[in-house]
Amino acid sequence: MAFEASIDDLSQVFAKIRARSLTLIQGLSEADLTVQSMPDCSPAKWHLAHTTWFFERMALTEVEANFKPFNDSYDYLWNSYYEAVGARHPRPARGLLTRPSLADILDYRGAIDRRIEAAIAAGRFAHAAAAAILMLGLQHEEQHQELLQTDLLHLFAQNPLNPALRAPDTAPALDHSPASPLGWVDFAGGLVEIGAGPDGFAFDCERPRAKAFLAPFRLADRLVTHQEWADFIAEGGYDRPEFWLADGWARAQSENWRSPLYWRADGAGAWTMAMTPFGLRPLEPAAPVAHVSFYEADAYARFAGKRLPTEAEWEHAAAAVPLDGPFFDSGDAIARPAAATTGLRQMFGDLWQWTSSAFAPHPGFKPLSGALGEYNGKFMANQLVLKGGSVFTPRDHIRRSYRNFFYPWQRWQMMGLRLAEDL
């Protein structure tokens, strides 16, 4: 379980996670950090400010008797969606915030960090309720660390110069070998439990533990690969409505989807390259396909004569799998071909995996009180659950019960898929 540190360790944990955010912007210009490539993305500069605002507005207000805001305008500038806090700058216009400058935002981060560290040293986060808010802020920062990277990747993918987030010479070696044949792991089903237990940190939406009855099922032993997706395209996957949900077909047609988000075709029309954090890179046949929407994942599953797993199936299957994989800490930054082992592979790290389950409350779910009650509960409509983490997810952030969620048409996150079928 992530974040089992004692209160005495909080200062080190806080400093480590806050410093990690700054490593993500090393070598980038202020222009790189200011531009917004689409409404779903936020500028990196905004991520740095918003996570700081969260600690100030949600944590310091709980532990400072004479709390004073760093800047009276920051509630408006850096609030994301907390209606209880008040009005905020429109999300699609975050890229217009050329001021405050990056230097101003870094000064803001430093000032709030010092106030948090002073409060930790004074024992003000020793109370369980205050410590829980600080832990929530740390996990919130880690969520934004992943978003910061995916938002920058989307921004750089719009640039005809194909800039790289990371030095191309640090990329993993290319692997042109074919994927291993797809295997299957069977599960008897029955009454199972999913969700987080009472101990350790978890988001409110992961609790309480919930019972689910599963019919016998099987999961593919690895993720769907580039080569398998290329076969889907070659077989007319994007042109055959019989594979698509109606909403997905309408979206694919209106936005002219012909491939996963960052694939690039050569002069002959063959899909050969993809935009990655290391810049343009050849597609590796055995590497898992990324940046596909739920609609695309569901269409591929129907094309293959299978389906996507439910959240309960995925989490039940993951219970026996070591919680390890290529996360952010590995430095790979791109999903790699499955290891030559038996059993379920690529369950953690690599790519978030779409499920067919709606992001809905577990029975007995209760949101947090106050503004923090808006953290997850208000989004429990029209979104789908993803599981497992990705190469952009910090290792100490993930849990088997972790519930990521996005709208079914969204593609810019590190999203892939695993097949399932009934027994």
* 377, burial (CB in 10 Å: exposed 0-12, middle 13-18, buried 19+): middle
Predicted pLDDT of residue 1? 31
Q: Is the dihedral of CA 32, 38, 44, 46 positive or negative?
A: positive
Rg of the chain, C-alpha, whole Å: 22
Of all residues in the chain, the percent with pLDDT exceeding 90 is: 91
Parse the chain into domains and list their residue ranges: 7-163, 169-422
Q: What CATH code would you report for 7-163?
A: 1.20.120
* Residue 190 host element (H or E): strand 190-194
* 412, burial (CB in 10 Å: exposed 0-12, middle 13-18, buried 19+): buried
In terms of residues, how long is the chain?
423
Separation between Cα atoms, residue 391 and residue 171, nearest integer Å: 13
Kindly report, residue by residue over 199-237, the tens digit of the pLDDT. 989 999 999 999 999 999 999 999 999 999 999 999 999
Q: How confident is the model at residue 119 (pLDDT cuts 50, 70, 90)?
A: very high
Contacts of 2 (CB under 8 A, 6+ apart): 139, 200, 201, 396, 397, 398, 399
CA dist list (Å): 140 to 23, 55, 145, 307, 401: 17, 10, 9, 32, 16
Give the chain's end-to-end CA distance (angstroms, integer): 32
Separation between Cα atoms, residue 217 and residue 185, nearest integer Å: 9
Find the DSSP H helices in 271-320.
294-303, 311-318
Predicted pLDDT of residue 8? 66
- Tell me whether strands 415-416 and 352-358 are parallel, antiparallel or unpaired: parallel
- Peptide bond preceding 367 in cis form (omega within 30 of 0): no
Residue 362, pLDDT > 80, answer yes
Q: What CATH code would you report for 169-422?
A: 3.90.1580.10
Contacts of 394 (CB under 8 A, 6+ apart): 17, 20, 142, 145, 146, 327, 328, 329
SS3 state of residue 349 = coil
Of all residues in the chain, the percent with pLDDT exceeding 70 is: 98
Q: What is the mean pLDDT of residues 10-15?
A: 92
The lowest-confidence range among 27-31, 40-44, 157-161, 338-342 is: 338-342
Residue type, 284: E
Of the candidates 189, 52, 171, the one whose C-alpha atom is nearest the C-alpha of residue 109 is 52
